[in-house]
Amino acid sequence: MTDIPMADVRIDTAVLSTGPKISTSGGGSLRADGVTAWFGKHCIIAGVDMDMPAGSVTSIIGPSGCGKSTFLRTLNRMHELVPSAAMAGEVRLDGVDIYGAGSRPALMRLRIGMVFQKPNPFPTMSIGENVLSGLKLAGIPCRDKAEMTERCLNKAGLWAEVKDRLGAPAGALSGGQQQRLCIARSLAVSPRVLLMDEPCSALDPSSTKRIEETIREISSQVTVVIVTHNMQQAARVSDYTAFFLADKGEPGRIVEFGPTGEIFNAPNDPRTEDYIHGRFG
Amino acid sequence: MSDLGLLVETARPLPQPRVITPGLTTGDKVFRFLAAAAAASVLAILGLVALFLVLEAEPALKVSGLKFLTTFEWNPDGTPAHFGIAALIYGTAMIAFIALVVALPVAVGSALFVNEYAPVRLGRPLVALLDLLAAVPSLIYGMWGLYYLQPHLQGTSRWLTDHLGFIPFFHTTRPVFGSSMFIAGIVVGLMVLPIVASVTREVLSQAPRGVCEAALALGGSRWGMIRSVILPFGRSGIVGAAMLGLGRALGETIAIALILAFNFKITTQILAPGGGSVAGLIANNFGEAGEAQRHALVAAGLALFVITLIVNTVARIIVNRTSKGKMED
Amino acid sequence: MNALPAAALPQPRKVRRNLRELAERPLMILALVGVAMAAIFAITPLSGMVGWALCTYVGFVVADAFDIYRTDGPVVAKDRIATVLVATAGLCTVVPLVLIVVYVVSKGLGGITRSFFTETLESVGPADPATVGGAKHAIIGTVEQVGLATLLATPLGLMTAVHLTQSRGRLARVTRVLVDAMSGIPSIVAGLFIYTMWIVRFHEGFSGLAAAMALSVLMLPTVARTAEEVIKLVPNGLRESSLALGAPEWKTTTRIILPAARSGLVTATVLGVSRIAGETAPLLMTAFGSDAVNTNPWHGPQSALPLFAFQRVRNAIPTQIARGWAGALVLIVLVLALFTLARAAAARGRKVLR
């Protein structure tokens, strides 16, 4: 389903320039329009416009503190959970503003799932319960629980490792397994979009590889937006890449956004080029 | 096993650590000694409490023997003297139980309200008010309970008997209400509410935030997050908080002495006058007590001391363990 | 380069609904349910204000949840019920304090006259009105007993806290557990302890000192625990820099650490005082009570405000009960003032330390 060879960790121009795929899948299209976010008086990001087409993988790169994570959190209304947080602009899921009057945050988060930097399975639940926890939380009935558990764990590439101990506590898994469990948990509610906030930064290289495989597999069914510090990872998994940058004391802004191949091989902005080649950040 | 170790060096014995003299001045030594002595005084006071209570309770315990724990009557001055704390312990436990039934749901609710629902501007003053409630003296709770709450609960008590009388606790033989374990329990419940609430708040605030966010990010409602993350995490801490409240409730004295009409029967009729309480009885009878009765009262106090000490220590251990649990996350 | 000027930032969007919008519909439902319940109460044998309020509340919770259920489904409805119940619990913690303070003020205010502070009960007969006689003797007793207890418990408590924070030995571990255990001692047991030791074994009579000793047993754990928390807040760098300057340990503690934590230590002491000022039970068997002034705390029965109030309200004579309420009012004002003072000192101390 994907035309990027897995083993290739270098940035391969020929492969990347095959361009973004056109979606015919189950993912939703997400569009940010002039997104600006504050914590108290402090403006974190300003005027971010971004189009994340259905079924694509978009990566967001940039140095620390440029507002990548904050931007991601505005995309499923997690941002407003911080008491002093404010935002402006629009985020459209399949054309509908998720901040619109009458839209419920919980419902939006159900459609736009999120995986966090640190794996955070529910410690008091078993592995199987964790997978189904989203359905239970949202009150979605599930007819065949065993089938659902297996399907989601399979998608997250964890089934083979845990199928014999679904009743074991989730805390007993390794960090990489926990993160894949969190992905499985997010997939169980069939989100339209899955946001990932540096999902591999706390993991070892082999777990990272498994999760990258998972991302590519699920991208046919769900639109993925991933924040990462690892530029190779962005090049490997994404169709589009956005480069964020914040000047000192200024809010973070989007410097360049386009097909991943273009951003990595022929960036328009000199700052993008400098960052990609490790000259700063 | 580790072939890496072999590569580096063949085992050369590690040197013994040197002894470093702390080089304390005389002032340091004196100061350290004073601080340690102060700490030891806590130990000494607890030991002395036990010692003197035992010494003074001994004559009474000799008279009654083990029956002290099983006798219902309280007649230490009679011949033969016949007394024990069975009914009192029952009453104490019943009042404490009612108190917890009143206090625990409100405490957990208010803890959740302050932690998860209320904006900071509302939560802070609420916490301050709750602490203030804890500072109100027991005597004032008792007077308020006796003069304000008791008349106002007449109707409620009557209604409970009339409509829920089939539940044994709400059955009342004679329609007389007041001076009951029910009212004493409610007042004591209000008194222990602040401590249960503040410990619960402390414990629940340590639920791992990342997991809470994950529950919300899955599309869970706030209540769903509380049910699936916060309450399971804080369960044992809430138990500990409840036990701390229980310890306070068991030792509550003046409010109960003012409200309760003492009798020495075990009854499930909590709405009717009557009931017992170890601490309340001591406060009530001490002034007019003769020699024999005083020994008996001290013996009752000793029992109370032992019970509250056990309950409190176990509660603290549970609470502290929950607080430590957060670091493993 | 492409950085826009700051003025170009848009206005924040209103994401959360404000209180007015949130409350509008529920309030309407509440009013409807209230009227409906009033109608039901009018035509059925149900009666009583409390009953009506309770039924209205339950009716509101159900109706409100159903209203949400129709539009948003069961999960949101459950969330709504939980929100209403939790908010009610939050409110419930405020109600008793308000009720108690208002009631004590209304009952006690009438008894607060000049004579309450200047006269005793020595020559007061049962027929005298409440304006005759006062609690001068009790006020003197409380001041002396609480003062002595503070003198006993504060140094011990502070030094215990110093040991708890600076030593990692076995004694410190054991003491920490025991201080917690001690804070759970029922106040009546503290009274019994001093009674059995001081009065029975040592053959000293009832006195203010005995009361002070019982109170200090209750005050010690409060002071020690609060002071420990406060001393822990002092930045470790302060201690290390003093030691690095060559100051001996005891000077570092007494000249650097304790002064840095000063306002917090004041809080610890005042919290301890507010805990014991209203204690009644231990005084019954230590100070015993008296109707006349006894300024000598070392010898002879003494009264105290809580004891005064307790003994008055147990009396069947209305004028005595009125005096008791006046005593209760003075007591609650005193305790709440002390407590507020402690909180204010704590708030200022935190600001200084940060």
Summarised one tens digit per residue, pLDDT across range B72-101 is 888 888 778 888 889 999 999 999 999 999
pLDDT tens, position by position, C33-77: 999 988 888 887 777 777 888 889 999 999 999 998 988 888 889
Instruction: Tell whether C198 and C322 lie within a shared domain.
Output: yes
**CATH no. for residue C127?**
1.10.3720.10
* Dist CA B211 CA A217 (whole Å): 26
Q: Using 50, 70 and 90 to split pLDDT, how confident is the model at C3?
A: very low
**Number of C-alpha atoms within 13 angstroms, CB side, residue A148?**
21
Give all strands (DSSP E) within C18-85, no chain letters. Answer: none
**CATH no. for residue A239?**
3.40.50.300
Query: What is the structure's pLDDT at B8?
Result: 53
Does the CB of C22 have a partner CB in chain A at under 8 Å? no
Q: Worst-scoring range by mean pLDDT, A247-251, B41-45, C156-160?
A: A247-251
Give me the domain span that covers residue C31: 20-93
Instruction: Tell whether C58 and C202 lie within a shared domain.
Output: no
Give me the percent of chain A exceeding a pLDDT of 70: 91
Query: What is the structure's pLDDT at C40?
Result: 86
Name every residue whose Cβ is closer than 8 Å to that of residue C259 and which is 6 or more positions away in sequence: none
The count of residues in chain A is: 281
* Dist CA B152 CA A189 (whole Å): 52
| Chains contacting chain B through 3 or more C-beta pairs under 8 A | A, C
Does the CB of C232 have a partner CB in chain B at under 8 Å? no
Q: Is C184 exposed, middle or buried (0-12, 13-18, 19+ CB in 10 A)?
A: buried
pLDDT tens, position by position, B239-263: 999 999 999 999 999 999 999 988 8
Query: What is the structure's pLDDT at B281?
Result: 92
pLDDT higher than threshold 80 for residue A47 = yes
- B86-328 fold: MetI-like fold (1.10.3720)
Q: Using 50, 70 and 90 to split pLDDT, how confident is the model at A8?
A: very low
Residue C132 lies in a domain: yes
The number of domains in chain A is 1
Name every residue whose Cβ is closer than 8 Å to that of residue C312 and which is 6 or more positions away in sequence: C320, C321, C323, C324, C327
Query: What is the structure's pLDDT at B11?
Result: 66
Assessment of whether the complete model's pTM goes beyond 0.90:
no
Residue C340 lies in a domain: yes
Closest chain B residue to C156, measured at CA: B38
Instruction: Tell whether C149 and C283 lie within a shared domain.
Output: yes
Query: What is the structure's pLDDT at B320?
Result: 82
* Dist CA B307 CA B283 (whole Å): 18
Contact criterion met (CB < 8 Å) for A137 and B232: no
Does the CB of B233 have a partner CB in chain A at under 8 Å? yes
Residue C184 lies in a domain: yes
Query: What is the structure's pLDDT at A191?
Result: 92
Instruction: Tell whether C271 and C204 lie within a shared domain.
Output: yes
pLDDT higher than threshold 60 for residue A127 = yes
Q: Using 50, 70 and 90 to split pLDDT, how confident is the model at B10?
A: low
Q: Worst-scoring range by mean pLDDT, B134-143, B307-316, C8-17?
A: C8-17
Give me the domain span that covers residue A140: 26-276
Q: What phi, psi does B76 have (nearest 5°)?
A: -75, -15
The number of domains in chain C is 2
Question: Number of residue pairs across B and C with CB atoms under 8 Å?
Answer: 282
pLDDT higher than threshold 50 for residue A178 = yes
Instruction: Tell whether C122 and C194 lie within a shared domain.
Output: yes
Contact criterion met (CB < 8 Å) for C11 and A88: yes
pLDDT higher than threshold 90 for residue C91 = no
Instruction: Tell whether C184 and C301 lie within a shared domain.
Output: yes
Are C222 and B131 contacting, i.e. CB atoms less than 8 angstroms apart? no
Min CA distance, A5 vs chain B (Å)?
Answer: 32
pLDDT higher than threshold 70 for residue A15 = no
Query: What is the structure's pLDDT at B7?
Result: 53
B219 versus B10: which is more confidently predicted?
B219
Q: Mean pLDDT across the stretch A8-18?
A: 35
pLDDT tens, position by position, C107-151: 999 888 888 898 888 888 777 887 788 899 999 999 999 999 999
Does the CB of C71 have a partner CB in chain A at under 8 Å? no
- Strand A85-93 to A30-39 pairing: antiparallel
Query: What is the structure's pLDDT at B139?
Result: 94
Does the CB of A182 have a partner CB in chain B at under 8 Å? yes
* Dist CA A75 CA A237 (whole Å): 20
Q: Which amino acid is at C129?
A: P
Instruction: Tell whether C229 and C328 lie within a shared domain.
Output: yes
